[in-house]
């Protein structure tokens, strides 16, 4: 199984969407420590684990779904992989011994916009596109 950090860097460089799953809280008997990470690509083999096999598979499934949804979420699970209702409060120590909370963060590269010409339309368009979150490239024959 590949290293999660190495896989994440590779996917970012190749502009391939993935979901980063991080255990943010774990009960004493959950079988995983806070800080454990998994990288779940849109297509391909995930890297990392979340402790027990059933929990790792549940996190993989939730991460894939969250990647499609495109929003950050904190999921609460039992150590055997069952999804539990979200907590209303976030106090340290609120978890039961067999519970885990996992942050699911979709990593999706921004849309790209290539503008040909840096004239009176191209430059304002580039500024607007950057404000809207596009990765902008301007091609122009002037210096």
Backbone angles phi, psi at 54, to 5 degrees: -65, -40
pLDDT of residue 55: 87
pLDDT of residue 89: 66
**What is the signed CA dihedral for 106, 44, 7, 75, rounded to 10 degrees?**
40
Q: Which of 69, 28, 33 is nearest to 49 (CA)?
A: 33
- Using DSSP, state whether 57 is helix, strand or coil: helix
Ranges in the chain, pLDDT < 50: none
Place of tokens 């779904």: 65
The Cα 126–Cα 56 span in angstroms is: 43
Q: Which of 26, 23, 22, 20 is nearest to 8 (CA)?
A: 20
> pLDDT tens across 82-123, in order?
888 877 766 656 778 888 899 999 998 888 999 999 889 999
pLDDT of residue 46: 85
């Amino acid at each position: 199984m590949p290293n999660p950090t190495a896989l994440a860097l590779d996917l970012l460089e190749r502009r391939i969407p993935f979901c980063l799953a991080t255990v943010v809280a774990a009960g004493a008997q959950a079988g995983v420590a806070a800080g454990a990470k998994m990288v779940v690509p849109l297509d391909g083999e995930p890297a990392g684990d979340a402790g027990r096999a059933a929990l790792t598979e549940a996190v993989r499934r939730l991460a894939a779904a969250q990647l499609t949804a495109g929003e950050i979420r904190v999921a609460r699970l039992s150590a055997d992989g069952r999804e539990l209702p979200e907590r209303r409060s976030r106090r340290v120590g609120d978890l039961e011994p067999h519970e885990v909370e996992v942050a699911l963060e979709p990593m999706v590269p921004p849309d790209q916009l290539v503008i040909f010409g840096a004239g009176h339309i191209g430059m304002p368009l580039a500024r607007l596109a950057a404000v809207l979150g596009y990765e902008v490239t301007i091609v122009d024959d002037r210096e």
